[in-house]
Chain A
Amino acid sequence: MKPDSSEIRWVDEPPLTPAERSYLPLFIEGLTTTLRHLVSPKITVQFPEERHEFPDPIIYRGVHRLNRDEQGRVKCVACFLCATACPAHCIDIVAAPSPWPDREKYPVVFNIDMLRCIFCGMCEEACPVDAIELTSLYDLSGKSREEMIFDKEKLLSVYDQTKDLEPPRWMRERDVVEDQKTDSASGEN
């Protein structure tokens, strides 16, 4: 397209008023913002001495955990749906027939490469048994790449660490159902 093309519409800057030409109103406006922030409450956190508080840790997407069932076994049934949904291909599962009579299939190996993970939460959404969930832990670090590949034991230990603060979804839903039951029962009374 040439500069003299009829399709180009040239727009001129509007002329400045005398007040604008003095720069004073804009200067005052900017300084007011600065002064307001000087006196407003601070939201910067002095990490790592202080830690950020989440309004709702359940919805935060941090380090994964593998949930345990009521008997303390890994809840995962090794269906590979998380690995299928994962856009970063960071989940590696090896499945096998389970050693327990009431369960058919379980993961022998369950590795998540935290360096590849993009923390999108698709694995959590894909999981049909609510076995993999993202916790509110966000400060993960390691000294080598190998250390950042979290295996099944480590992911289960994340569950042990976070289960009290962030109960797994199936437990929350069960509690909600029980609350409703007690509510309706008390309502009848």
Chain B
Amino acid sequence: MPVVIVDGKEIEIRAGERLNAIEAAARAGVEIPHYCWHPGLSVVASCRMCLIEMGTRDPQTGKIVMLPKLVPACNTLVKDGMVIVTNTEKVARARAMVEEDLLLRHPIDCPICDKAGECRLQDYHFQYGQGERRADIRPITSRKRDIGDLFLFVDRCIMCSRCVRFTREISGTSELMIVNRGTHEEIDVLPDVPLHNKLSGNVVDLCPVGALADKDFLYKQRVWFLRRKASVCGLCATGCSIWIEENQDRVHRIKPRENMFVNKWWICNDGRYGYPFIHHPSRIRGVVRRTTSGQVAVGWNEALREIEEKVRTACRPALCLSPFLTNEEAYLAARWMRNTHPESVIALGPVPREGEDERFPGGFVISAEKCPNRLGVEAIAHGLGNGVLGWPEFLEEIAAGRIDRVIVLAGYIKPWLDETQAETVRKANWVALADLFPSPLSDKVDLLLGMATYAEHEGSYVNRHHRLQWLQRAVRPPLGSRCVGMVFWELSGRTGVYQPRTVLAELAAELPYFSAATGEIPDVGVDLRVNQLAPSTAETQASTA
């Protein structure tokens, strides 16, 4: 096995593995600072921050010969016998020089820069730079330019060209470019071709300094006030791994979380800027019961009693599960329904679809299916129900009078049913609905329950490649609302706080489809097909694409 020596420490790499010196050093626990290199982009070796001393060890004599000059680590593929040294005076001086050079033309307006606190220029300056500024330059205010989806703070840029390479290689739109030469270099767009594509928000994460700024997040919060929770985007079936960043129960931004099996380092703008619905004032809050005298707010205990009694005394009750529920919620609800009434039916809500899948040259796919958990909910419905109804059949059954009492667990973000469908559902003699926003159905139902969005409940989703990923709860639901899991946890007669981990363990034990989800769920999720025999090669390729 090839051996690489990093700062005197030998590390083994797999034969045939293509690693550059930054990645190899990271395995040895040595951080090599870098600006322009990113694992998802091509290598340009232009920032010169990752300069290291490099040499080779003679396999026979064991003698080490070092190169006289420093080499960029990002552009140096490691091979057997390579020696990397990062802790010498020569390397430290090179880093300090790069830092000093970058700060010559930097505005140093950190107090008003949104990147401050997570800025590489700041971090590396404190770690590798020199304390004294030799150039007599006053702090300036950076020029600001609206380049379409984002703001560009021209003078903060350190010309790493990550954003330019991103638009060329990953989004394939090539809006950004470098204009002028030498110290006059700037990032810019053509006058009538602004930066506008579905992945443009990623260049803000890529930018190691504060040159590219979200219009959505601009000056809203300082980054050190935010707390982040690992979660999964709930807006399409791709199920990107995300960080939800919140402060005082308010989501302020969504950032991609690295997951090489799903979204790599990227997320789309729909997911990134699609969170404001969580705090929309028209959200359904608490429990509302419709009586002859109008709508009255009731407590949860009363609502639970009513649901329990109505389902138990029904002739043929139905439970409609939407693809926005977590697996745990869907399982608890379906399990309770089947246990409470042996004749009960399980139906599936409509699956929202918009257009076609959007594919990008870098391999990123935005799914046309605008819901996070269709596969998981369908597997649970088929595993627990006897004869699962699709949405049209469900409406037919109600219209034909074969279903008398209905619980609809919705949670749709966009309008999901029209007036006639709502009228059809209303034909049942008792209807309970859990939903996020008012819909044609919400003012007709007997019991209306406020529920939680993807940022407000804990649990798991199964994405379109059968990968189960865990969501952490980032913020609390609006006052009075509860997540569906909590409701059915109590209805099932369980005590204490709703524990989705326990529910997932039961689910994995009961349904073979979920059997891979036993034990701790890793950050990248688990592929539920690992326990199934011999997946076809076509499927494997599709999942890695």
Enumerate chain A interface residues (CB-CB to B < 8 A): 77-81, 84, 95-97, 102-105, 128-129
A84 to B222, CA, bound (A): 9
Closest 9 CB pairs of A and B: A79-B111, A95-B219, A105-B112, A80-B222, A128-B111, A77-B112, A104-B112, A104-B141, A105-B219
A80 to B219, CA, bound (A): 10
Q: Are B109 and A104 in contact (CB under 8 A)?
A: yes
If over half of B's interface residues share one DSSP class (helix, strand or loop), that class is named, otherwise mixed; here it is: loop
CB-defined interface of B104-128 with A at 8 Å, one 1/0 digit per residue?
0000010110000000000000000
Residue of A at shortest CB range from B142?
Answer: A104
Known A84-B224, A103-B141; contact A77-B111, beta-carbon cutoff 8 A: yes
A126 to B144, CA, bound (A): 26
Give the chain A neighbours of B142 by CB distance below 8 A.
Answer: 104
A104 to B225, CA, bound (A): 21
Give the chain B neighbours of A96 by CB distance below 8 A.
Answer: 219
B218 at the interface (CB under 8 A from A): yes
> How many whole Å from A174's CB to the nearest CB in chain B?
15
Q: Are A97 and B218 in contact (CB under 8 A)?
A: yes
Residues of chain B in range 90-114 having any CB-CB distance to chain A below 8 Å? 109, 111-112
Q: Are A97 and B219 in contact (CB under 8 A)?
A: yes
Give the chain A neighbours of B225 by CB distance below 8 A.
Answer: 80, 84
Give the chain A neighbours of B141 by CB distance below 8 A.
Answer: 102-104
Q: Are B224 and A78 in contact (CB under 8 A)?
A: no
Give the chain B neighbours of A95 by CB distance below 8 A.
Answer: 219-220
A129 to B139, CA, bound (A): 12
Give the chain B neighbours of A103 by CB distance below 8 A.
Answer: 141
In the assembled complex, 29 residue pairs joining A and B whose CB atoms fall closer than 8 Å, in A order, are: A77-B111, A77-B112, A78-B112, A78-B219, A79-B111, A79-B112, A79-B222, A80-B222, A80-B225, A81-B111, A84-B222, A84-B224, A84-B225, A95-B219, A95-B220, A96-B219, A97-B218, A97-B219, A102-B141, A103-B141, A104-B109, A104-B112, A104-B141, A104-B142, A104-B144, A105-B112, A105-B219, A128-B111, A129-B111
A104 to B155, CA, bound (A): 13
CB-defined interface of B39-70 with A at 8 Å, one 1/0 digit per residue?
00000000000000000000000000000000
Among A79, A80, A81, A104, the one with the most B-chain Cβ atoms within 10 Å of its Cβ is: A104
| Beyond A103-B141, A104-B109, 12 additional pairs, beta carbon < 8 A | A77-B111, A77-B112, A78-B112, A78-B219, A79-B111, A84-B222, A97-B218, A102-B141, A104-B141, A104-B144, A105-B219, A128-B111
Residue of B at shortest CB range from A101?
Answer: B141
If over half of A's interface residues share one DSSP class (helix, strand or loop), that class is named, otherwise mixed; here it is: loop
> How many whole Å from A91's CB to the nearest CB in chain B?
12
> How many whole Å from B235's CB to the nearest CB in chain A?
28
A80 to B113, CA, bound (A): 11
> How many whole Å from A44's CB to the nearest CB in chain B?
45
A97 to B153, CA, bound (A): 13
A97 to B224, CA, bound (A): 20
Residues of chain B in range 248-302 having any CB-CB distance to chain A below 8 Å? none
CB-defined interface of B132-163 with A at 8 Å, one 1/0 digit per residue?
00000000011010000000000000000000
> How many whole Å from B129's CB to the nearest CB in chain A?
19
> How many whole Å from A101's CB to the nearest CB in chain B?
10
Among B111, B141, B144, B218, the one with the most A-chain Cβ atoms within 10 Å of its Cβ is: B111
A26 to B111, CA, bound (A): 63
Give the chain A neighbours of B109 by CB distance below 8 A.
Answer: 104
CB-defined interface of B198-237 with A at 8 Å, one 1/0 digit per residue?
0000000000000000000011101011000000000000
Residue of A at shortest CB range from B221?
Answer: A80
Give the chain B neighbours of A129 by CB distance below 8 A.
Answer: 111
> How many whole Å from B499's CB to the nearest CB in chain A?
33
A106 to B511, CA, bound (A): 57
A105 to B218, CA, bound (A): 10
A97 to B142, CA, bound (A): 13
Residue of A at shortest CB range from B139?
Answer: A128
Among B112, B144, B222, the one with the most A-chain Cβ atoms within 10 Å of its Cβ is: B112
Give the chain A neighbours of B219 by CB distance below 8 A.
Answer: 78, 95-97, 105
Give the chain A neighbours of B111 by CB distance below 8 A.
Answer: 77, 79, 81, 128-129
Among B109, B142, B144, B222, the one with the most A-chain Cβ atoms within 10 Å of its Cβ is: B222
A33 to B486, CA, bound (A): 73
A81 to B222, CA, bound (A): 9
Residues of chain B in range 362-419 having any CB-CB distance to chain A below 8 Å? none
> How many whole Å from B475's CB to the nearest CB in chain A?
19
Give the chain A neighbours of B144 by CB distance below 8 A.
Answer: 104
> How many whole Å from B303's CB to the nearest CB in chain A?
36
A149 to B144, CA, bound (A): 34
Among B109, B218, B219, B225, the one with the most A-chain Cβ atoms within 10 Å of its Cβ is: B219
Residue of A at shortest CB range from B111?
Answer: A79
> How many whole Å from B380's CB to the nearest CB in chain A?
44
A105 to B141, CA, bound (A): 10
Give the chain B neighbours of A80 by CB distance below 8 A.
Answer: 222, 225
> How many whole Å from B130's CB to the nearest CB in chain A?
21
> How many whole Å from B524's CB to the nearest CB in chain A?
34
Residue of A at shortest CB range from B144?
Answer: A104
> How many whole Å from B311's CB to the nearest CB in chain A?
47
A97 to B114, CA, bound (A): 12
Give the chain B neighbours of A77 by CB distance below 8 A.
Answer: 111-112
> How many whole Å from A105's CB to the nearest CB in chain B?
4
Give the chain B neighbours of A79 by CB distance below 8 A.
Answer: 111-112, 222
Residue of A at shortest CB range from B224?
Answer: A84
> How many whole Å from A160's CB to the nearest CB in chain B?
25
A156 to B286, CA, bound (A): 43
A103 to B142, CA, bound (A): 10
> How many whole Å from B109's CB to the nearest CB in chain A?
7
Give the chain B neighbours of A84 by CB distance below 8 A.
Answer: 222, 224-225
A158 to B218, CA, bound (A): 30
